[in-house]
Structure formats: structure tokens, C-alpha cells
Amino acid sequence: MAQDSKLTREMQTRETSERPKRWMPPELLPEPDKQAGYAYRWIRVSMLNNPDPRNISSKLREGWEPVTIEEQPKFKLLANREGPFKDNIEIGGLLLCKTPEELVEQQQAYYSDQTRAQEEAVNNNLMRQSDSRMPIFQERKSTTTFGKGGN
């Protein structure tokens, strides 16, 4: 009898007990297969069928480079066969580009430093205008309370 239950257990597979797949709308921009050490981004090359050379030029100078169809073969149908980005992947005026992750980290650090410096400048300017008769209080930490208040 133990043999019978073991056979029926072996005959059960995940496919027979799996839920049927549900339809999902397609993603607007598909996710590329990641290559180690690189970050990917969709960069605008045109908007409303008008080329945007200024945007793509600045991104190329930042270190982004267009991804070729050989690097991402699953996008074969989306390859641009003509124009300035021949054999690259373009969807709706957006071009798939990649750059080394180190450059992305350096860019994030640069903009974080810029933001922190601007915040400090605003705070210093605000505190400079503070009057001792009516000081500006600047609380730099937040608190969270739970439950009913004020009863």
C-alpha cells in the first residue's frame, strides 16, 4: 500500500498543479538582459517624430553608448535599420544605451554633493537672516506618532 501512494505522488508534477497563467499587458519598454558591470537606460533620441540631437549628444558625452543588436539578440525586431543609430535598439524615439556602473555611481555622488551644497547654502542664508528677538528654529529630525491624538 505504501508503494501505491508513492507512485501516485511521483506521478504528480508541478505542471499539473500549477495555476493557469494570466494575461498581462506588455511592458512599454522591455528590460534588457543585464551584462555584468554595466547599467542600462533608455535615452530619448526623438519626440513626436522630431529628432532631439541635443539630448542624445549630451548623453553620449556623459559616457552612454548605444547597445547593438548583437549584444541584445532578443530585441532583433526592434533594431533600427536606418538613420544615425543603424543596428541599434530603438522603441518610440528611445534608444537603449549602456555605460559602466562606475560612471553611474560617480554621477550619483556628484549630484548628491551638489544637492547637499545647495541645501547647506539655503540653510546658512536662512539662519543668517535669523533675529535673536524671534529666532528661526530649524528642526532637523522628524518624529512619527501612532494612535489617537489630542483626546
Which pLDDT value is given to residue 111? Answer: 92
What is the spatial distance between Cα 46 and Cα 94, in angstroms, rounded to a whole number?
Answer: 7
pLDDT for position 5: 58
Q: pTM for this one?
A: 0.62
| 103 CB-near residues (< 8 Å, 6+ apart) | 39, 62, 63
What SS3 state is found at 109? helix
Across the strands, what pairs with 42? 96
pLDDT in tens, the chain (151 residues): 555 555 566 565 555 566 778 887 777 788 888 889 999 999 999 888 888 899 999 999 999 999 988 888 888 877 777 777 888 888 888 899 999 999 999 999 999 999 999 998 888 887 777 766 666 666 666 677 777 765 5
pLDDT at 28: 78
Where does 12-145 have alpha helices with state H? 14-17, 53-62, 101-128
The pLDDT of residue 106: 92
Cα dist from 38 to 30, 81, 140, whole Å: 17, 25, 37
